[in-house]
Amino acid sequence: MLSLQNLIKQYEGVRAVDGVSFRVEQGDIYGFLGPNGAGKTTTIRMIMGIIHPDSGIINLNGSDINKLGRENLGYLPEDRGLYQKQKLEETIHYFGILRGLDKEEARSRASMWLERFSLIDQGNRKIEELSKGNQQKIQFILALLHDPGLLILDEPFTGLDPLNQLLLKEIIQEKRDEGKTIVFSTHQMEQVERLCTNICLINKGKIVVEGVLDDIRKTHTSDAVEVRYSGTLENDKVRSFFTEVEIKETTLSGILKQKPDRFLSWVNSQVTVESFQVKVPSLEQIFIEEVKKTS
């Protein structure tokens, strides 16, 4: 279990992380979200010990993470950090030994993961010769190789085609079922909805929304609507009622700025409404709405 308590990190008078607290239970895939510059990367770097908080506590399984070795942590960074001139197998063996495996175990695990990712015949190629997608697979293998209890995955699906995204999701779910603690950071909201039970959304260093994803979606339900109609609507006027809206032919869906009464009265005067339903918004809609509130 990972616990962050009132983390603060300041740079030149600006609080990049401002009182962030959350818990990630063992066996949970926890979505850690936010727009660019929100403080996600700074928080992750503090968890990894790359930088230290100005104040606050980070515990892993009840112990101060800064007093533990990093062998139990696996990290897939957003930016690739591979040695481009090194051969693939040499790179994996090196990182395995660096993270506490003996040579034989490092080779055995490397072969197993290369086989899983259909890269077993690529071992003698240099990293720079691999596609971006295959380099991303290597980053993922390096995060998993030493079988850590805590996995931090920052944009793990970058550069991957749909089949390999599916493979990664399968492996992430396998690690969850093994009882690993997983922090998952991405801008791909549909992946979060498929994988995560709990989420934390931060903006400007502060937590905006945090908790069980289903509960968060339900709290936004009253303002999220879908309308099917016949006729023509004036787009600019429609948009004035919504914080976020999508119009496809004769269907519109979005999150209303206020309760539906005023909008319903207006739309009934403009077109023939065939159906109107309050709906659970997508995580992307919630994300946009909450970030706008705090920007």
Q: So what's the pLDDT on residue 188? A: 87
Amino acid 293: pLDDT: 83
pLDDT recorded at residue 257? 87
Cα(169)–Cα(147) distance, rounded to whole angstroms? 17
Which parts of the chain have pLDDT scores under 50? none
Give domain limits for the chain. Answer: 2-213, 221-279
Alpha-carbon distance values, 146 to 75, 101, 184 (Å): 11, 7, 19
As assigned by CATH, the class of the 2-213 domain is: alpha beta
Domain boundaries 221-279, corresponding CATH code? 3.30.70
DSSP code for 100: T
Contact 280, 217 (CB under 8 A): yes
- Please report which helix (H) or strand (E) contains residue 295, including its range: none
Q: Closest Cα to residue 7, out of 43, 60, 48, 51?
A: 43
pLDDT at res. 208: 93
Residue 32, pLDDT score: 96
Give the C-alpha separation, 248 to 246, whole Å.
7
List residues bridging with 20 in a β-sheet: 7
Nearest Cα neighbor of 7 from 61, 62, 66, 47 is 47
> Token pair of 60, please?
């892993």
pLDDT at 106: 94
Interhelix angle 103-116/88-98, nearest 10 degrees:
130
Does the pTM exceed 0.85?
no
Would you state the pLDDT for residue 272? 93
pLDDT in tens, 129-161: 999 999 999 999 999 999 999 999 999 998 899
